[in-house]
């Protein structure tokens, strides 16, 4: 099958040369196209940023214009009120003149304040010039107030001041007589230069502009200042046609003044017939983007050309790969010959986990033929307990962090259930790229070996006669529990149990009966080992031990008394035990806690052994703990009896 695949691959290489070249061209063109698409996105982002910045500035400047006009209008309201109520007073004109001067002094932005009679003649002004002979009845604002009874403010078109000759913006209010008839106009003028100076504080670039307009399209002020366009009406321009329907927005237009393409934002005042236009030169906004786009696209095109050249070189290598595939085919044939002659199961696994080859030994090892396994997943029958371990090893092999590994795991046999396999795994690499493309596994059945290991493990930790833990396992567990107790400050107790006069029992009833007796005692002790932290063990000979985790001295004594009573209740005859007539046990209890000086396993064993010794000395068939040793003088250890290091002996001493 592998030979057929290699032959098919050689044919594919021959037939796909032109298609690969066309694909390379499409790929290079796509990369350049995507690069340009990205650049257009960046360009549009810069334009949106410029629009947003212009919109924010337009809202800020129109607010400033509103504030300026409202301050001036408040001054006009005060003057109108004074004239309509106090103009008949003596020296009214002189008082009015003083009022105008005072108002102007408090409003630096004012160009001047003027009061005109009903015929247009000047009554008073904040200016110092001679006002005799001046008449403003020909002004548009004067005619509009005379013909309309509206008492609101009127923002007029920019005009040249007759007193100073400069461009000014007028703000006027109607003055009524006692019977509501037209009595004149009160006017305040704002110098167009005031707005221009204010606009000049904001940076809009060399091609940018700031313009304040009336809503009818009349230009009131513009920065950069152009004396020729102030007062001009732009209602027919392309910008104004786009800006008439909304309160605010953005417009891209070609300026009729200088022919510059601009990105602009406008905002209308909600209180006054004013509109602010902020414009940035489009070329100026996009200049940084153009510079960066030039270098970025140059790099993309350059790298694409390099990729194209490398692609052409790769296409030239396609022919040489045909020869390589023929070589691989011959090696595959040799591999199959060796695999089929092996007693072990040889399998080849693709990068995606698919079995591409399995040797005939699979029938004997797994119960499935190689034809049934090829095409399936290598980990299909894996035991859930071993899956994570095997997958971790396979992942290391795929990443290339390992080139070979040995692993044992359980898998499913077709007829006999679960079997243990031991597999030697080695990665295979693509001869062209050197990348990992699969794994070769050599597997053998190690079920019997694993069963033997389990049996030996049980023998190493269990006592063969009683089925309890042996001495070595007890020592290991006790050391761990004591270490944990030191961290958590929880108590740990040890109960040593010894069958009374057991040598006499063996001499009387025989060793077979003695073994049966020990098994029954062991069953009683095991029945009192009920928690995960408890451990019942045969300590040696007729002596047993019970480790009680997280148990204080009182609790351990309760368990010890229950064991003593349960053994006595077995009623095993024992004529050598004259005190009871049945088999009994003596028990010694020691507890390691934060209140005792017992810290090591040797300390605990020594103390519980002394308690056991005193229990036997006191008559047997009883349980004593290390506290009673200290409280009862009669139970104090005799100085003539040496301390016994039970941790260093195989069999504890027997008391007769």
Q: Exactly one of 51, 542, 543, 628 is catalytic; name it.
A: 542
**Sequence-ordered alpha helix ranges (H) in 409-446:** none
Q: Which long-range contacts (CB under 8 A, 24 or more apart) does 411-418 make?
A: 411/366, 411/381, 411/382, 411/383, 412/366, 412/381, 412/383, 413/366, 413/367, 414/366, 414/367, 414/368, 415/367, 416/367, 418/383
Structure tokens given for 14: 């021959």
Structure tokens given for 269: 């005042």
Sign of torsion over alpha carbons 460, 465, 468, 471: negative
Q: Is 70 a catalytic residue?
A: no
Q: Which long-range contacts (CB under 8 A, 24 or more apart) does 38-44 make?
A: 39/289, 39/293, 39/296, 39/297, 42/289, 42/292, 42/293, 43/286, 43/289, 43/293
Structure tokens given for 364: 């004997």
**Cα angle for residues 606, 608, 610 (degrees, 5° grid):** 70
Give residue for tokens 């009896």. 641
Judged on CB neighbours under 10 Å (0-12, 13-18, 19+), 638 is: exposed
Phi, psi angle pair for 364, to nearest 5°: -75, -35
**Sequence-ordered alpha helix ranges (H) in 87-162:** 92-106, 140-147
Question: How far apart are the C-alpha atoms of 607 and 494, rounded to whole Å?
Answer: 9
Give residue for tokens 């102030």. 230
Phi, psi angle pair for 428, to nearest 5°: -115, 150
Structure tokens given for 363: 């029938």
Contacts of 240 (CB under 8 A, 6+ apart): 217, 234
139 touches 159 (CB < 8 A): yes
Question: How far apart are the C-alpha atoms of 204 and 53, rounded to whole Å?
Answer: 10
Are β-strands 219-223 and 154-155 bridged in parallel, bridged antiparallel, or unpaired?
Answer: unpaired
Closest CA to 211 of 148, 267, 136: 267
> Can you name the residues that pair with 113 across neighbouring β-strands?
188
Structure tokens given for 415: 């007829």
Closest CA to 75 of 198, 214, 190: 190
Question: How far apart are the C-alpha atoms of 596 and 606, rounded to whole Å?
Answer: 14
Composition of the chain by helix, strand, coil, percent to 5:
45, 25, 30
Give residue for tokens 């035991």. 383
Enzyme catalytic residues? 542
């Amino acid at each position: 099958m592998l030979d057929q695949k290699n032959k098919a691959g050689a044919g594919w290489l021959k037939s796909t040369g032109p298609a690969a070249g066309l694909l390379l061209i499409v790929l290079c063109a796509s990369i350049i196209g995507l690069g340009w698409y990205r650049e257009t996105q960046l360009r549009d982002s810069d334009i949106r940023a410029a629009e947003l910045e212009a919109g924010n500035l337009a809202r800020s400047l129109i607010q400033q214009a509103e504030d300026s006009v409202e301050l001036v209008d408040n001054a006009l309201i005060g003057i109108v009120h004074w004239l309509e109520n106090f103009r008949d007073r003596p020296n009214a004109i002189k008082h009015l003149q003083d009022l105008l001067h005072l108002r102007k002094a408090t409003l630096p932005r004012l160009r001047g304040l003027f009061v005109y009679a009903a015929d247009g003649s000047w009554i008073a002004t904040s200016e110092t010039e001679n006002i005799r002979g001046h008449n403003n009845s020909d002004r548009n604002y004067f005619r509009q107030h005379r013909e309309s009874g509206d008492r609101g403010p009127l923002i007029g078109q920019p005009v040249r001041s007759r007193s100073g000759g400069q461009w000014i913006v007028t703000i006027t209010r109607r003055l009524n007589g006692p019977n509501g008839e037209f009595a004149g106009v009160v006017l305040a003028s704002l110098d167009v230069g005031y707005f221009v100076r204010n606009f000049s504080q904001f940076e809009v670039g060399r091609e940018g502009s700031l313009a304040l307009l009336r809503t009818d399209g009349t230009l009131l002020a513009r920065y950069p200042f152009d004396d020729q366009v102030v007062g001009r009406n732009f209602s027919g321009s392309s910008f104004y046609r786009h800006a008439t329907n909304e309160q605010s927005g953005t417009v891209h237009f070609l300026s009729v003044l200088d022919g510059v393409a601009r990105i602009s934002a406008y905002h209308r005042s909600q209180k006054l017939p004013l509109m602010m236009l902020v414009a940035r030169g489009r070329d100026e906004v996009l200049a940084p983007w153009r510079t960066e786009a030039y270098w970025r696209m140059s790099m993309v095109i350059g790298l694409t050309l390099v990729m194209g050249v490398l692609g052409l070189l790769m296409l030239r290598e396609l022919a040489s790969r045909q020869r390589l595939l023929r070589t691989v085919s011959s090696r595959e044939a040799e591999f199959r010959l060796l695999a089929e002659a092996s007693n072990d199961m040889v399998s080849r696994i693709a990068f995606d986990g698919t079995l591409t080859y399995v040797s005939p030994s699979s029938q004997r090892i797994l119960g499935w033929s190689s034809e049934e396994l090829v095409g399936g997943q290598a980990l299909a029958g894996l035991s859930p307990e071993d899956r994570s371990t095997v997958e971790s090893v396979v992942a290391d092999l795929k990443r290339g962090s390992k080139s070979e590994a040995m692993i044992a795991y359980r898998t499913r046999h077709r007829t006999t259930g679960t079997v243990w396999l031991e597999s030697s795994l080695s990665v295979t690499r693509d001869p062209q790229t050197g990348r990992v493309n699969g794994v070769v596994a050599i597997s053998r059945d190690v079920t019997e070996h694993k069963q033997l290991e389990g049996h030996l493990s049980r023998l190493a930790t269990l006592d063969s006669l009683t089925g309890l833990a042996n001495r070595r396992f007890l020592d290991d567990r006790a050391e761990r529990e004591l270490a944990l107790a030191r961290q958590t400050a929880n108590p740990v107790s040890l109960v040593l149990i010894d069958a009374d006069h057991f040598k006499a029992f063996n001499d009387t009833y025989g060793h077979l009966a003695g073994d049966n007796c020990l098994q029954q005692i062991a069953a009683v002790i095991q029945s009192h080992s009920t928690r995960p932290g408890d451990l019942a063990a045969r300590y040696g000979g007729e002596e047993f031990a019970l480790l009680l985790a997280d148990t204080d001295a009182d609790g351990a004594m309760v368990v010890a008394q229950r064991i003593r009573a349960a053994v006595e209740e077995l009623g095993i005859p024992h004529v050598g035990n004259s005190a009871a007539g049945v088999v009994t046990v003596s028990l010694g209890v020691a507890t390691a806690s934060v209140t005792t000086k017992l810290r090591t396993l040797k300390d605990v064993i020594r103390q519980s052994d002394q308690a056991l010794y005193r229990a036997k000395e006191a008559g047997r068939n009883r349980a004593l703990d290390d506290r009673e040793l200290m409280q009862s003088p009669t139970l104090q250890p005799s100085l003539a009896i040496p301390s016994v290091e039970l941790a260093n002996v195989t069999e504890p001493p027997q008391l007769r």
